[in-house]
Structure 1
Amino acid sequence: MPPFGLSLLGREHEREVLARAVTGLSEHRPAVVTVSGAAGSGQHALLRWAARFAEERGLRVLRARATPGESDLAYGAVTQLLGPDAPAAGAGRDGPLPGLAELLRTARDRPTLLTVADLHWLDPDSLRWLRALIRRLPGAPVAVLAGATGPARLADPDAPGPLPVTRLTLPPLGPAQVAAAVALVCGDRGEERFTAAAAEACAGNPEVLHEMLRRFADAGHRPLDARVPQLRAITAAVTAEHTTRVLRGLPPEAVAALRAVAVCGHLLDFPLVRTLARPRPAHDAGLRETLEATGLTVSDGGGALRPATPEVRTRVLEGMPADERADLYARAAELAHRAGAGDAGIAELLLAARPVGAPWAVHVLRGAGAEALRAGDHGRAVAALARALEEPLDHVRRARLSLRLAAAEVPTAPEAADRRFAHILRSPGAELAGTRTRAADLALARGGGDAVRRALVEALPAAHGGERDALVALFWLAELGRQDDTDLLLHEVPALPRHPASPAQAGVRAWRQALRGEDLLATRGLARDAFAGRGDEGALLLPRLAACRALCLTGDLEEAAWRLDALLAEARRDHAPAAAALLLTARGDLNLRRGRPDLAEGDVAAAERALPQTHWHPLYAPYTLAVRILVALESGDRRRAEALAALPDPDASWNGMAGAHLLFARGLVAIAYGSPGEAADLLLAAGRRLLRLQYANPALLPWRSLAARACHALGRDQEAQRLGHEELSLARHWGAPGAIGWAELGLGRVAREGRTARLREAVRTLRAVPATVAYTGALIELATAELDAGRRQAAAPLVAEVSRLVASQPGSRTAARARALAQRLGRPGGPSRDLPAAWTALSDAERRTATLAGRGHGNRDIADKLSVTTRTVELRLSAAYRKLRISGRAELRALVRSMEGYDTDVA
């Protein structure tokens, strides 16, 4: 029990009123005072204080405290007041008012104070006795002080007494009182955030405040802002205990109503909520007041009543048997549905409810799952969709809903998602054909485990027509990245036809031919055929992604880019995070080829948000990590590139095409930062893995030319020449200008003689596809060779063109090389002479955003390109305007145009 100094904090006015009532007894002035408020507000402390105050003045004090256990005991409180020897009702001496006359007689000689605590539990006979006493008080030196939780109904409403009743209602403690309590209990003034947290946690309840501060101080803590977490943990325990005490003092019907409030009070008005209570209150009058008086509920100012804190809600409900609680939630959900509450709130109720067996429940839960996915809350989405599956469903709707759930589970529980995808693939029925192919598509987007592959093969014998073609295409698409000579599934799957009629098989065939470097024109045609599909087969993402990657290798980068953008929009609309992450990674890879590491950086960041690196299957994990390494490398972030390259291998079973990508990326890091021996080993290892898969196309990964560069640095010129000529021969066989130009560039780098001529040839070849990292690299190499030969006039336009190409990403590795060339040429670093000095103060994200805005892109378009929100774009532009000291887009557009050489000679 807290000392008076704490219990009476902020109750100065109430003590003055009680003191006047006590001192008035000496002048034979009777008084009636009621003290009411929420449980724990200090009613008992005030009554104890008044009793002690009276005793110190020589007055007689009679005390009683009503309890739930004695609420049916006749004259229980009277017996406490007058003692066990008081005459009982029915003894005949005092009729129905035992001891009342004797009390009034003796009070004339010794003024008397009566304190009655917990008036709301008073038995009816004692209440009638008190009311009779009050009617007889005029002229008698007797004061009656009564405390109650909630309204104190002491006066008889049908027979108003001759004395006015002074009613005191105890308000919650304010901030000043909480701050004083902190200082009093903790021995030190609380810091601002700590005191605010204490006020919020106790909700102004003195009993809760005093107990939580006492435990906090006993644990040796000081009231510092850094200790708020410890305070909240203690408060949760104290609140739970306080709630339990209050619940024990409530009648069953009030507890039932309080549980209904805890379940849906935030959704529905109290008159509706109370209809859910079991048992139903016999009389609704005063029920709301009773619940509000507990201090466990708060009103929203309208018709709703809700628990005061989440801890109160938890404690109120945890005492219920699980089946009763689930039934209450179900009835609440049905009532909320009939009342027209929002779907999100109804879904929250359904998550804890037993199955209701109604179609609207599935509709609500599916909607809540979709809303959660749009908000990026996969945990909530999984919960809603899994709960929807508990409702009665036919097998078609169940399979489709399971598909939604599996897709939502990928970012949080990928193994569970694979098991669910496999189960869908094994589900029989021709009506599920589209669902099965979609399940295989989404499962393989993360890589697909063995369970998924086996289930796919098991589904083939019963599949027909388009479904069979799609499943075959998806199986062989997954196999393109694998290297497993012992796989027993291969002989069970039909081979891909050389001239497929199926759009899905066309996309896979195009990617396969592109990997092998076979027939560029036919490959391009097959890739475009992949987008001609309709219906379920045409909706598959992975075959069309394969076609996009084939178009990258054929040199159709712009077409591949806009097709990837369209696929990404589909994946996001369908809430397929693994597919979206794979598409973003592929787009990042494409943007690197286009010489746009700034855009690639946004892509890989968005891919990581959609599906963390640790959740990828080993079939794809090395590829996604490789793209992240290359983005960091090309962005000039050496520390990050080296850190990513040093990460352990994603899995022991990664030996395949994705593993070759990772070895290649690590090899480029080694070349860039001066480790040619390590680079040669890594790049040659990558090549061996690709050759085992028979993927010879240098447009995929130009490992030969880069390994030749490393060998040249090590003095292994013969090997370097062999690798360079082999790549050029394969590139010419493939026929893509980008691949040929890159091979010519590689040979120029390692040429013993005629180096400049070879580099000029590379620049001429690559000029057909200028917006690529290969073209920029060739310009840099040729400019360097011209400067080495003293031909400054020939180097100048090359440096100017490079500076224009890299102006939009000044922090990239290529831009740094361009600035170095400009310095050798004796000029400022290209367009940087036109930049305000503040441009270098912009962050990379602000520079990328400002550049796109300066090129005329709108905020929504910029947000889509960088995979951020429009609000983020607005904030970045505001920061850029401030740092550049410009007023808006007009000045920004002029600046960017100048930087990119439109209005000035940046050479």
Structure 2
Amino acid sequence: MGADCLSGNGRVALVSGPVGCGKTELIHTFAEKASKDGLRFQKATCSPAERLLPLGVISQLLPATPDRIARLVGNGLTELDPSVAEHAMVLHDVSRALTDLAEERPLLIGVDDVQHADAPSLDCLLYLARRVGTARVLLVLTEIDQPRTPFHSELLRERHCRRIRLAALSRRETGQLAAHLADDVHQLSGGNPLLAHALLEDHDTTRRFFGPAFREDLLACVHRSDPAVVALAAGLAVLGEDPSPTLLAQLTGVDVLDVPRTVHAMESAGLLADGWFRHPASASVVLDDLSRSELGELHLRAARLLHDQGAPAIDIARHLAAADRPLAAWAAPVLHEAAEHALREGDVEQAVLHLERAVRTGTDDKQRASIRSRLARVEWRTSPATAARHFPALLAASREGLLGCWDTVSLMRQMLWHGRFTEAAEALERTRASRSVPQAVELWLACCYPRLADRTGAAEPPGTLTADPWARATTALAQVLTGRCGEEAVVTAEQILQGARANGVSDYRVAALLALVYADRLDTAATWCDRLLAAAEGKRADTLRATLSGTRAEISVRQGDLREAARYADTALTTLDAQGWGTNLGFPLSCALLAATYSGRLDDAARLVELPVPETMFETRAGVHYLYARGQHHLATGRQHAALADFLVVGELVSSWRLDAPGFVPWRTGAAEAWLRQDMPDRARSLAFEQLDITGEGPSRARGAALRILAACEDPTRRPALLAEAAEVLELCGDRYELARASGELSRAHHALGDQRRARMVLRRAWHIAKECDALPLCRELLPDEEPHAACGADALSGAERRVAALAATGHTNREIADKLFITPSTVEQHLTRVYRKLNVKDRTDLPTDMASSA
């Protein structure tokens, strides 16, 4: 075409292609070559900002603006009408001025982005194109791909006009830019040369893609395109992947019929792939280019459109959050629903954010109070201390009658946790006055905060359990704590745990666990607690995890596993700090204190005793646990009077609360031991008999300990029988620490009666059990001259463990062993776990073949 121009045969070239594909670069490259061949180069660059400037393009091409053109422009020219003589002369003047330039030297005229040219300039270019056939003029026009217009039709009908199409680079062509990065660059740029070079420039500079060069060139591609591209790019970045054309059109204002065409053009330019950006980084670039006001308006409009279309709340909430501006009332229930969805997915932080926005958005006071109550409960999952910030507003809402029954109950429970008894009582009485307090709430108060319990009889455990799991769990716990522990309460607790959702956070499962603990079903409670802890791992449920860890510590203390008790108590106390635990601090603290005391870590125990605790804690069940543990520490450090005082306070409290169940806190055996240390066996005997009367004939930890105390008060000849019974009961209950104590006392009883062989055998076993418990003071008491070392072989096994191991070694399944020994499969599993650990084997196939004979 350049040669034709030099020979006097003018030509027109229309170069089309996607944005960024190299059209501008082509003009410059050709201009350099043409200049070497003697052509003169006149260039004009079009832009959307100058589209309304009459003859703006032509004025860039002419060395000087003719007077006629200047006058018409000054008079407000908007279009050229050839039927108007003066307008026709303008067309002639422009064409003549440019062809006159070609008389001096062949002329190359380049017009870049001609799609943005003003209408009069397009008319002049068409007029010129019709007349360059016999002039030394080469007219090169570039444009971004667009639908055919009358300008195209008129231009391309000329025989000397040629259309040149540019396309994106292929994978092979991209490889010529950088072979080792070809796949990544082609994938991310779509073959767009401008974007490909930008990616490589950023990679050379930072060893990463998507740097400043890419950002600049991507925005250049967007803003040099049709206005619809700019609008759709922003709309796609806001809506995310796979929006419908209708939604895009409604959000951006682009005609719905133009959306598919524009998206296709963006895909051809390498900006999109399959209707969305090739990488999220591209969307981020577009979003960052919007002002805060523009972005907020787009997100708010998107939220409203999605709401009107019935989209999921979680999708709408994402835009409401990004809008970052005051929201209309319709948004509050949407945010509330989105928060519930986030909770089901385990995203507590997102749920909190949604609920906080919903509280600020709601215009109805009752609705806002309900949402705030839900927010407090959600925050409670991770931090009870944080949730307390809502107390003033919720208490005010309660006084105004804006909280429903269960929201008021939730507020009361949280305030009680933090020891705010007066305010909690106010909310409770207001609800009681409306006769809307469920019986399960009264039962829960009687079990946990007896001072506030209704003592008119409404708090008595019902005979028939309800279907609500929290009510059933609370009822089971109340039955155990009030001494009405039948098999029904235990079965109910297990049923509740079997039906509990693994990802739930309700504390009714903790109540069911405690019912098993206080009923001395320790192995079963341990199995369920371990499962619940495993299910809670990795979830944002710190309060539940801390509570379960504290419960597991209590189970371990009662089993005599002091190392595990200390570990779980430490986990509980670090998962929630003292402020977070509130009045319930006594639960994990008592376990840590007992584990340290029984293990002989008296300095650690002393530090735990010195920790400040809420005064209101002593009006709760947690305070009873703490007083009992402190009493045991006083006994271990020789302060019998202080110990007795603590045990007797416990007795007064549980008696006044009507929670004097044998499996709760064995204060009588603690007090009896303090009386023995003060050489008052009659008082100790009285308490021991009292404890035995309460426990009945069935096996329980309290009965085993009472038998041990009673033996110390009796004639030496009666002691072996009482202690043997105590040991048998304690082994059935799984309390290894108390079993070691009873066995040690039994050894001394045999020794006093001259039965040295039996005394030595029982003593060795008691020592091994104490060592297994990590009860070093007890080990030294039993065998002062022998340093504690790890028990080994069958000697380290308890009788129950030997019986289970013997059956397992002969090929029996857990179910068969359970049936033979009249225990549960979970108890079999617990025994085998300890057997494997003591014998240092992996599973039952490694058990020694002589286990049957040793049993």
TM bucket normalised to smaller: 0.5 to 0.7
Paired residue for 1:373, among 320, 343, 359?
343
Residue 65 of structure 1 aligns with which residue?
Answer: 45
Matched, 1:651 2:594: no
Residue 832 of structure 2 aligns with which residue?
Answer: none
Residue 117 of structure 1 aligns with which residue?
Answer: 112
C-alpha distance in structure 2 between counterparts of 1:821 and 1:589, whole Å: 33
Residue 732 of structure 1 aligns with which residue?
Answer: 692
Matched, 1:298 2:278: no
TM-score by length of 2: 0.65
Q: Which moved more, 1:775-784 or 1:435-444?
A: 775-784
Residues 331-368 of structure 1, C-alpha deviations (whole Å, 9 max, x = no match) = 4134422xxx445434444556765666xx66655543
Residues 798-818 of structure 1, C-alpha deviations (whole Å, 9 max, x = no match) = 99xx9xxx9xxxxxxxxx999
Residues 354-385 of structure 1, C-alpha deviations (whole Å, 9 max, x = no match) = 65666xx6665554333222211123333444
Q: Which moved more, 1:630-639 or 1:684-693?
A: 630-639
Residue 429 of structure 2 aligns with which residue?
Answer: 460
TM-score by length of 1: 0.62
Decide whether the 8 Å contact of 2:485 with 2:519 is kept in 1.
no
C-alpha distance in structure 2 between counterparts of 1:632 and 1:773, whole Å: 6
Q: What does residue range 143-182 of structure 1 map to in structure 2 within 5 Å?
A: 143-151=138-146, 156-157=152-153, 160-161=156-157, 162=159, 163-170=161-168, 180=178
Decide whether the 8 Å contact of 2:338 with 2:354 is kept in 1.
yes
Matched, 1:603 2:529: no
Matched, 1:664 2:591: yes
Decide whether the 8 Å contact of 1:474 with 1:542 is kept in 2.
no
Matched, 1:675 2:601: yes
Amino acid at match of 1:166: I
Residue 880 of structure 1 aligns with which residue?
Answer: none
C-alpha distance in structure 2 between counterparts of 1:412 and 1:580, whole Å: 17
Secondary structure of 2:301's counterpart equals helix
Decide whether the 8 Å contact of 2:805 with 2:847 is kept in 1.
yes
Secondary structure of 1:320's counterpart equals helix
C-alpha distance in structure 2 between counterparts of 1:430 and 1:606, whole Å: 40
Aligned length: 744
Residues 58-83 of structure 1, C-alpha deviations (whole Å, 9 max, x = no match) = 54333221122211122322332343
Secondary structure of 1:166's counterpart equals strand
Decide whether the 8 Å contact of 1:63 with 1:116 is kept in 2.
yes
Residue 86 of structure 1 and its aligned partner are, at CA, apart by 6.9
Residue 820 of structure 1 aligns with which residue?
Answer: 792
C-alpha distance in structure 2 between counterparts of 1:587 and 1:403, whole Å: 31
Residues 419-467 of structure 1, C-alpha deviations (whole Å, 9 max, x = no match) = 556655654699978x334542476269633568615414524643643
Residue 794 of structure 1 and its aligned partner are, at CA, apart by 9.0
Cα pair distance change 1:73/1:720, threshold 3 Å: farther
C-alpha distance in structure 2 between counterparts of 1:729 and 1:23, whole Å: 122
C-alpha distance in structure 2 between counterparts of 1:216 and 1:124, whole Å: 43
C-alpha distance in structure 2 between counterparts of 1:746 and 1:122, whole Å: 104
Cα pair distance change 1:170/1:253, threshold 3 Å: closer
Q: What residue ranges of structure 2 are gaps of 5+ in the alignment? A: 73-85, 610-628, 633-642, 655-659, 774-787, 820-824, 830-840
Residue 496 of structure 1 aligns with which residue?
Answer: 454
Paired residue for 2:376, among 384, 394, 406?
406
Paired residue for 2:122, among 122, 127, 132?
127
Residue 301 of structure 2 aligns with which residue?
Answer: 328
Secondary structure of 1:496's counterpart equals coil
Cα pair distance change 1:385/1:834, threshold 3 Å: same
C-alpha distance in structure 2 between counterparts of 1:572 and 1:396, whole Å: 32
Q: What does residue range 752-767 of structure 1 map to in structure 2 within 5 Å?
A: 757-766=721-730
Secondary structure of 2:663's counterpart equals coil
Paired residue for 1:699, among 663, 674, 698?
663
Residues 184-233 of structure 1, C-alpha deviations (whole Å, 9 max, x = no match) = xxxxx88x9xx96x888777766566667756766xx5x3xxxxxxx58x
C-alpha distance in structure 2 between counterparts of 1:287 and 1:426, whole Å: 58
C-alpha distance in structure 2 between counterparts of 1:288 and 1:103, whole Å: 36
Secondary structure of 1:116's counterpart equals strand
Residue 35 of structure 1 and its aligned partner are, at CA, apart by 4.6
Residues 551-602 of structure 1, C-alpha deviations (whole Å, 9 max, x = no match) = 8x766588436426527957889x6556667767887898982266454333
Cα pair distance change 1:771/1:646, threshold 3 Å: closer
Q: What does residue range 730-809 of structure 1 map to in structure 2 within 5 Å?
A: 731-735=691-695, 737-743=699-705, 757-766=721-730
Matched, 1:274 2:249: yes
Residue 834 of structure 2 aligns with which residue?
Answer: none
C-alpha distance in structure 2 between counterparts of 1:291 and 1:167, whole Å: 14
Task: Among all aligned residue pairs of Structure 1 and Structure 2, give the percentage whose two residues are the same amino acid.
Answer: 19
Decide whether the 8 Å contact of 1:411 with 1:615 is kept in 2.
yes
Q: What does residue range 126-525 of structure 1 map to in structure 2 within 5 Å?
A: 126-135=121-130, 143-151=138-146, 156-157=152-153, 160-161=156-157, 162=159, 163-170=161-168, 180=178, 223=207, 231=208, 235=211, 259-264=234-239, 266=241, 268-277=243-252, 284=258, 288-289=262-263, 292=266, 298=272, 300=274, 309-312=282-285, 314-315=287-288, 318-320=291-293, 324-325=297-298, 327-337=300-310, 341-351=311-321, 365-387=335-357, 400-412=370-382, 414-415=384-385, 417-418=387-388, 420=390, 423-424=393-394, 426-427=396-397, 435-441=404-410, 444=413, 448-449=417-418, 454-458=423-427, 460-461=429-430, 463-464=432-433, 466-467=435-436, 479-480=449-450, 496-497=454-455, 500=457, 502=458, 505-506=459-460
Paired residue for 2:17, among 25, 28, 36?
36
Residues 231-255 of structure 1, C-alpha deviations (whole Å, 9 max, x = no match) = 58x74x7776667666766787765
Cα pair distance change 1:269/1:654, threshold 3 Å: closer
C-alpha distance in structure 1 between counterparts of 2:798 and 2:478, whole Å: 46
Residue 776 of structure 2 aligns with which residue?
Answer: none
Secondary structure of 1:125's counterpart equals helix
C-alpha distance in structure 2 between counterparts of 1:723 and 1:680, whole Å: 29
Residues 18-75 of structure 1, C-alpha deviations (whole Å, 9 max, x = no match) = xxx668867879462525324x555444443443344455543332211222111223
Secondary structure of 1:115's counterpart equals strand
Secondary structure of 2:91's counterpart equals coil
Q: What residue ranges of structure 1 are gaps of 5+ in the alignment? A: 1-20, 182-188, 224-230, 481-489, 507-525, 807-815, 837-849, 857-861, 867-883, 885-891
Amino acid at match of 2:293: M
**Please, what is the CA RMSD of the aligned residues?**
6.3
Residue 779 of structure 2 aligns with which residue?
Answer: none
Cα pair distance change 1:569/1:77, threshold 3 Å: farther
Decide whether the 8 Å contact of 1:100 with 1:133 is kept in 2.
yes
Residue 80 of structure 1 aligns with which residue?
Answer: 60
Residues 615-672 of structure 1, C-alpha deviations (whole Å, 9 max, x = no match) = 999xx79956955986999496699469649959932797967426523334324534
Structure with greater helix share of residues? 2
C-alpha distance in structure 2 between counterparts of 1:666 and 1:242, whole Å: 67
C-alpha distance in structure 1 between counterparts of 2:687 and 2:195, whole Å: 78
Residue 622 of structure 2 aligns with which residue?
Answer: none
C-alpha distance in structure 2 between counterparts of 1:790 and 1:275, whole Å: 94
Cα pair distance change 1:732/1:391, threshold 3 Å: same
Secondary structure of 2:664's counterpart equals coil
Residue 328 of structure 1 and its aligned partner are, at CA, apart by 1.6
Residues 661-684 of structure 1, C-alpha deviations (whole Å, 9 max, x = no match) = 523334324534x53676699644
Residue 761 of structure 1 and its aligned partner are, at CA, apart by 0.8
Residue 877 of structure 1 aligns with which residue?
Answer: none
Residue 226 of structure 1 aligns with which residue?
Answer: none
C-alpha distance in structure 2 between counterparts of 1:632 and 1:124, whole Å: 92
Residue 513 of structure 1 aligns with which residue?
Answer: none
C-alpha distance in structure 1 between counterparts of 2:123 and 2:852, whole Å: 100
Amino acid at match of 1:273: L
Paired residue for 2:490, among 548, 560, 570?
560
C-alpha distance in structure 1 between counterparts of 2:711 and 2:170, whole Å: 80
Decide whether the 8 Å contact of 2:550 with 2:572 is kept in 1.
no
Larger Rg: 2
